[in-house]
């Protein structure tokens, strides 16, 4: 029961359970004033709950970044969240000081190249290029064009019989057949290709391509970082285990090597009266890769050294010091009983 009680308390105090119910069906969509604004206050002002809003916030907030939708309202309870929003996630990641990496299948798009010219020459000549689409197009867009050409296989056979009849006698190689298919897509007028206009490039659902790291991190790769204890070689950041291979680090779900976190996972999983998400432990962040579609892939390893196992009783300090979990209360009662028995019973 103690483990279930701890899990319910964790869910009740989580961000998912604290989402405000909107007063109308339009979730602040038609508001004429900015919503979900993020403001910053120094740490010493945050500890005194000085944020510049009319209503005093609880001392348990204690965060320099808060998100709010209104300074004051008729109920006197402004909609305020702490440690929320994409901006705070970026700040949380940038505090680690990790330089991001990029994986390019072609030359760097930030520098001149054949693929970055205003009128590039299609030297690769993929099949989608002959359908007036880029090679980076989504699969769903290619399927829409193919649905407009239900008889493309029959038209291709007619084109082969008219222009290259020897292909039916001597079976060509796959490379030669691919060249014939490209010629058919280029010459045939029966193929419906992708049509573009100027308005298509301004749509909200247009394909987005991120160049570089997209402003996610400004740290340079290979640059030394000095600390009071010397040069910083690796990045150590706190995180929480989600499964045997996943961990939440810096606001992202990171891939953690299972061999490096097996000890931590077994300890947190088997601890009586605690949920695995209540354990904050150190991780060594190996790399963070920013893909061209804006996704961030973080890889980390577990750190088996340190005294994090002995500090878990203070991970979630309650606002009321008299409020403790079931396991902690039983532990206190057991110690009191043991002290009483030591006084009564003879040695």
Better-predicted residue by pLDDT, 296 or 201:
296
The pLDDT value given to residue 337: 62
- What percent of the chain lies above the pLDDT cut of 90? 1
| pLDDT range class, residue 319, cuts 50, 70, 90 | very low
The pLDDT value given to residue 104: 64
For the chain, report the end-to-end CA distance as a whole number of angstroms.
Answer: 36
Q: Are 99 and 217 in contact (CB under 8 A)?
A: yes
Distances (CA, A) of 289 to 51, 70, 137, 296, 339: 35, 37, 21, 6, 56
| pLDDT range class, residue 227, cuts 50, 70, 90 | confident
- Mean pLDDT over each residue of the chain, to the nearest integer: 74
DSSP classification of residue 273: T
What does the pLDDT look like over 26-74, one tens digit per residue?
Answer: 555 555 566 667 777 887 887 777 777 777 777 767 677 777 776 666 6
Q: Is 297 exposed, middle or buried (0-12, 13-18, 19+ CB in 10 A)?
A: middle
What does the pLDDT look like over 1-14, one tens digit per residue?
Answer: 566 777 777 766 66
| pLDDT range class, residue 342, cuts 50, 70, 90 | low
The pLDDT value given to residue 74: 66
| pLDDT range class, residue 300, cuts 50, 70, 90 | very high
The pLDDT value given to residue 330: 57
What does the pLDDT look like over 162-172, one tens digit per residue?
Answer: 888 888 888 88
111 token code pair: 């520098």
């Amino acid at each position: 029961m103690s483990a279930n009680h701890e899990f319910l308390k964790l869910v009740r105090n989580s961000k998912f359970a604290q989402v405000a119910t909107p007063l109308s069906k339009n979730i602040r969509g038609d508001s004429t004033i900015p919503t979900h604004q993020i403001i910053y206050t120094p740490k010493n002002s945050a500890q005194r709950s000085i944020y510049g809003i009319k209503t005093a916030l609880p001392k348990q907030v204690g965060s320099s970044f808060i998100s709010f939708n209104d300074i004051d309202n008729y109920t006197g309870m402004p909609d305020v969240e702490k440690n929320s929003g994409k901006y705070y996630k970026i700040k949380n990641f940038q505090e680690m000081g990790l330089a991001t990496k990029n994986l390019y299948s072609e030359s760097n798009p930030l520098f001149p190249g054949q693929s970055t010219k205003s009128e590039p020459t299609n030297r690769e000549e993929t099949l989608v290029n002959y359908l007036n689409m880029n090679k980076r197009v989504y699969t769903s867009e290619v399927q829409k064009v193919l649905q407009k050409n239900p008889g493309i296989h029959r038209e291709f056979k007619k084109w082969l019989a008219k222009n290259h009849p020897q292909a039916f006698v001597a079976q060509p190689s796959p490379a030669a057949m691919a060249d014939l298919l490209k010629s058919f897509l280029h010459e045939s007028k029966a193929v419906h290709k992708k049509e573009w206009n100027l308005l298509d490039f301004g749509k909200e659902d247009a394909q987005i391509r991120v160049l570089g790291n997209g402003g996610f991190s400004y740290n340079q790769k290979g640059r030394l970082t000095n600390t009071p204890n010397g040069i910083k070689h690796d990045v150590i950041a706190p995180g929480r285990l989600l499964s045997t291979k996943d961990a939440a680090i810096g606001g992202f779900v990171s891939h953690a090597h299972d061999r490096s976190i097996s000890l931590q996972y077994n300890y947190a999983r088997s601890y009586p009266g605690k949920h695995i998400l209540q354990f904050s432990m150190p991780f060594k962040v190996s790399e963070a890769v920013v893909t061209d579609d804006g996704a961030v892939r973080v890889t980390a390893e577990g750190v088996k050294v340190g005294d994090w196992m002995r500090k878990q009783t203070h991970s979630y300090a309650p606002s009321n010091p008299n409020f403790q979990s079931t396991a902690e209360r039983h532990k206190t009662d057991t110690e009191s009983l043991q002290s009483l028995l030591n006084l009564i019973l003879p040695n």
